[in-house]
Amino acid sequence: MKNLIKLLKTSPLSARFGMAVILISLGVALLAPVLAPYGESEVVSDVWLPAGSDHLLGTDQLGRDMLSRLIYGARNSISIAFLTTMLAFGVGAVLGLVAATTGGWLDNLLSRIVDIFMAFPTLILALMILSILGTSIPVLIVVVALLDSTRVFRLARALAMDIAIMEFVDAARLRGEKTFYIVRREILPNALPALIAEFGLRFCFIFLFISALSFLGLGIQPPTADWGSMVRENSGAINFGILTPLYPAGTIALLTVSINLVVDWFLHRSAQIRA
């Protein structure tokens, strides 16, 4: 605990700001039913009302409370993006580390499969697959995770190939250690700082990607609150000078920037430790 407090004290202001925004976002996501003044899909008033005492951020295109929608949107957007990132890393990192450590036909096979998927624009490929399989949340998570795992695979493979030529890895092979032991005990601990930083960046990309899919109508479906779909649903308000769609757009930008600030600080600190 003392080390954590000391670490926070020595962190720059930008990293503290990023961590504060992330912690607040997580708190709002976890306590959404308690914090929201109205239900997620409850119609409470007229459409596009301005901010007032009854509705602090006004209402949306159907007369639902915008503050409540933003709070529930935090829970849905963050949790789905986090689960998708976890799945992408679980698939991509494991396959990348194993491919680099094993080499041979397995490495070539996995690398060529990844090359095929990366040859297509990710957004277009996701739109095609989701149009065929449907847009339920489980399908959305699996499709986006598998498409993004190709990026994780390339990074994990590159890191593992640099570490696999080290002397301590050769010593483990000479001792007769199995591949999964070498990956788990020798390669993964040395690749972990870069993978942790990449996890934060990939979360940002997946978070923005799912928001983009929702904006296009193939992401999280209504009436489930999602920041990306909330921008699309209220985009017509801009024509009347109403700022309603800027609220979810601003939350997307704020959380993305905050995560990047923390990741940049983590990378800088890791570089100092290695030096």
Report pLDDT for 111.
92
| Single-letter amino acid code for the residue at 28 | V
pLDDT in tens, 34-93: 999 999 989 998 889 888 888 889 999 999 999 999 999 999 999 999 999 999 999 999
Q: Summarize the confidence of residues 5-17 as an average pLDDT.
A: 79
* Band (267; pLDDT cuts 50, 70, 90): confident
Least confident of 84-98, 175-189, 227-241: 175-189
Torsion of CA 116, 121, 122, 123, to 10 degrees: -150
Residue 275 pLDDT > 50: no
- Which residue's entry shows tokens 């670490």? 7
Q: How far is C-alpha 114 from the geometric centre of its chain's CA atoms?
A: 20
Average pLDDT of the chain, as a whole number: 88
pLDDT at 169: 83
| Chain mean position to CA 108 | 28
Residue 54 lies in a domain: no
Give every CB contact of residue 148 below 8 A, 6+ residues apart in sequence: 84, 85, 88, 92, 122, 202, 205, 206, 209
pLDDT of residue 180: 82
Residue 181: what pLDDT?
84
CA distance 206 to 66: 24
Tally of domains within the chain: 1
Q: Is residue 46 part of a domain?
A: no
CA–CA separation, 23 and 139 (whole Å): 28
Q: Is residue 273 very low, low, confident or very high in pLDDT (cuts 50, 70, 90)?
A: very low
Asked if residue 75 is part of any domain, the answer here is yes
pLDDT at residue 255, as a whole number: 94
Contacts of 214 (CB under 8 A, 6+ apart): 220, 226, 227, 228, 229, 232
270: CATH = 1.10.3720.10
| In-domain check, residue 207 | yes
What backbone phi and psi angles, to 5 degrees, belong to 60?
A: -95, -160
152 domain residue, yes or no: yes
pLDDT in tens, 137-166: 999 999 999 999 999 999 999 998 888 888
Kindly state whether residue 135 falls inside one of the protein's structural domains.
yes
Domain region containing 192: 14-36+62-274
Residue 45 lies in a domain: no
Confidence of residue 27 (pLDDT cuts 50, 70, 90): very high
What pLDDT score was predicted for residue 32? 93
Return the higher-pLDDT residue of 126 and 275.
126
Q: Which of 19-28, 85-94, 233-242 has the lowest mean pLDDT?
A: 233-242
In this prediction, residue 272 has a pLDDT band, given cuts at 50, 70 and 90, of low
In a domain, 48, yes or no: no
At a CB cut-off of 8 Å and minimum separation 6, what does 198 contact? Answer: 152, 155
- Residue ranges of alpha helices (H) inside 217-241 are 227-233
Report the predicted TM-score, pTM, of the whole model to 2 decimal places. Answer: 0.90
- pLDDT score for 176: 80
